[in-house]
Chain A
Amino acid sequence: MADNKFDTPELREYPIIPKLQKDVMAHSKPFIAKEPHQEPLGFPGELVDDWHDVAIKKMGDLQSKYRSLQVYLDSCVKCGACTDKCHYYVGTTDPKNMPVARQDLYRKVYRRYFTFAGKYFPKLVGATDLTKDVLDDWYSYFHQCSQCRRCSVYCPYGIDTAEISMAAREVMDTIGVGQKYCNEIISKVHKIGNNLGLPGPALEDTLEGLEEDVEEETGVAVKFPLDVKGADVLLITPSADFFAEPHVDGLIGYAKVLHEAGISWTISSHASEAANFGMFIGSYDNMRKLAMRIREAAIELGVKRIVFGECGHAWRVAYSFLNTLAGPWDFLDQNYPIPQHICEVTHGLIQDNKLNFDKSLNDDMVLTYHDSCNVARASRMGDKAGGQFTIPRDIIKSVCNNFHDMSKDTIKEGTFCCGGGGGLLTDDLMELRVKGALPRMEALRRVVEDHGVTHMAAICAICKSQFAKVFPYYDFSMDQIVSVHQLVSNAIILTGQNDENDENDDGNHPQQDIDEAA
């Protein structure tokens, strides 16, 4: 289990590829799911007796269902191009965190049971039996992959280790070796509708509180509607947006934008969660069931559009999979993308000059932007390839005067994961999370030193939570991570807003106590 005694890696001036240190992360394992978290998902509560045979059968089944898996398992030439591309390898130096080595944990079993060479010449091609030790390695290292897809950008065949991690996790779930964090959350969503297990009435209270806050601050009655039938837009947002900092400031930003644009909208208590943890465990079935809640809510509330809040993996599932999982969406207004990202909405309104900003209200910050891995490499915004990079940056530049990008190889398609994605955002993996954040911390440190950057903006609930948690390990302060829509919220001038409230709107500005890092 995660031992809390570990050293935070040092930030290096020139990132060089680290030397291998074998098995230094073999001890990193998340808590195992118990029966109550396994059964609602349709998985056995503990390791089944004939686990070996069940696992091999499941592997065969997955290979026949996923072309990605079959092709990736066969095609790797061990060229090594991906070896230094994973933030977990860079941060931990454990060779099994090199993407190809992680895949090989699965591939060596695949070869042994499913290929001619592996059946008859196992030593020659590095094939091994599926033993208890191998299973232990799987549990350890397939929970050291945040499914960020960085490796797939650099592989000559696009081999995506995330696909292999998902398959491995599904095989493990099938034999009763699930991960507590993910499976507990999924069972909550199945039952209640969101990751936090926040029931309808609690949600209503929270939203009312936000209405009061915003009205007090601006003098404008911005609504945070819940379960309003006939609203135009159903807003699906990660549940962290309902109360955690800095997420909630983002939610306030969406509400202000939608209010100002005169768009009627609602949150649904039935589908009050954007994140879809079914993807993390590679379970199409669970992913689909979670996505169906959104369809049910959209039908129930009679909305015309679906808009997603700031969340990375959620946006991947929304953008790339929602149409597949829960479509067709022929009952929605076809004049809008289905689903749409809140950044697309805000960006469109900015382009049409529908929003007024006073950029100087963000002058106390110098911003940089962290491209969330799944937004960058697994989805898009707007109608052109790469919109996921330009749209959030355009928004930031429309509401802030000071912006600097981090170095080129650490942003856009080459962005480094925050270190907490893919179902790893749990305290039992703290060492991994801190170490995995290293490349991003180094890039951030450089713009802080060279350009006086004070804050990093992101559009993902996981990134925001992860950075708030790991910043202190690297001598940043936790409020240096901000939501993009928090910046929008700071700068937007609502129609009818009192303009003399510059003093008392500081409640949502986290920048008072960041001086030590600047």
Chain B
Amino acid sequence: MQISMLSMSIAALFYIAFIILAYGLVSKIIQYKNTPAPLKIPTMPAPTTQAGVVFRMSKEVVFFESLFKSSKATWLFGWLFHFGLFLDMLRHLRYFIDPVWFWVIIIQPFGKYGSILMFVGLAGLLTRRIIVDRVRYISSPSDHLMLVLLLCITTTGMAMSFYLGADVISVKSFFIGLMTLNIQNIPADPVLIIHLIMVASLMIIFPYSKLLHAPGLFFSPSRNQVDNAREKRHISKWAKELEKN
């Protein structure tokens, strides 16, 4: 089979994007892990057990508990977007797994509606960023562009799944091919290609942008520490050095 220039380029782009994403993310996570937290600084009241911390963190990851306390509008749009994104990413698993797992088939329609949640959420967040003076003040161009990029990914995706349709079989064989180092042709569908290029850009941007909030949350000392300072001595390596003299 003849592999088109286009397919080669998209394949190369995805390999590069994947390497950057993986390398960037892993090195950031290693950096966070290796940086000591010398003092106990959980935001109190904090759980007094490790199990309690897991519970606190789960509430933050799943429900955005703190955000709920602070701003209902941001919470609503933010949560819709992330939940939609989550559903949609699960839906996309079908392009990477063969045969497709049973539950991935079950959630296909929900994943499709996930994109509507994403769209509403992103549109709400972008609007808020533009009209609320405080949020506009703290925004850099990159903050707006990130939302625009995600909106474009979402709309091109929606255009394909709701109107235009896409050659799902070929797309799947392209990605399975990428994963098995056996490059296949990708359909020369402009909407699909734009969608994919933007997704690859997002992967590249991820480890060098505020998208680090995803791993960051898990390393945030004010959220992941146990409140047991009096019971258990907490001391970091560099602080221990000070005790020698």
Contact = CB atoms under 8 A, between A and B. Distances in A.
Contacts of A76: 210, 213
Interface string A1-43: 0000000000000000101100000000000000000000000
Interface of A: 17, 19-20, 63-68, 70-72, 74-85, 95, 98, 100-101, 104, 115-117, 121, 123-126, 149, 152-160, 163, 284-285, 288, 319-321, 323-324, 327-328, 337-339, 376-380, 383-386, 388-389, 413
B69 A154 contact: yes
Interface string B137-171: 11111110100000000000000000000000000
A156 B39 contact: no
Given A76-B213, A123-B141, A66 B35 contact: yes
B45 A78 contact: no
Given A155-B66, A156-B66, A158-B43, A95 B216 contact: no
A153 B71 CA distance: 12
B36 to A, nearest CB: 6
25 contacts: A20-B137, A67-B35, A70-B31, A74-B28, A74-B213, A77-B143, A79-B71, A81-B66, A81-B67, A95-B134, A124-B141, A125-B141, A152-B43, A153-B66, A154-B66, A154-B69, A156-B67, A156-B213, A159-B222, A321-B229, A323-B230, A324-B229, A327-B235, A378-B44, A380-B44
B44 A413 contact: yes
- Most chain A C-beta atoms within 10 Å of own C-beta, residue among B36, B60, B220: B220
A338 to B, nearest CB: 6
Nearest to A72: B220
A117 B24 CA distance: 13
6 pairs of A and B residues whose beta carbons are closest in the complex: A75-B216, A126-B140, A158-B222, A154-B70, A80-B135, A385-B45
A98 B137 contact: yes
Contacts of B232: 323
Contact of B44 (A115, A123, A379): A379
B44 A71 contact: no
B210 A68 contact: no
Contact of B40 (A98, A324, A384, A413): A324
A67 B32 contact: yes
A71 B216 contact: yes
Chain B interface size band reads 35 or more
B201 to A, nearest CB: 13
A386 B138 contact: no
A157 B39 contact: no
Given A78-B138, A78-B139, A83-B135, A159 B67 contact: no
Interface in B208-245: 208-210, 212-213, 216-217, 219-223, 227, 229-230, 232-235, 238-239, 242
A320 B70 contact: no
B133 A68 contact: no
Given A75-B220, A98-B137, A284 B239 contact: yes
A81 B74 contact: yes
Contacts of A101: 137-138
Contact of B35 (A70, A79, A83): A70
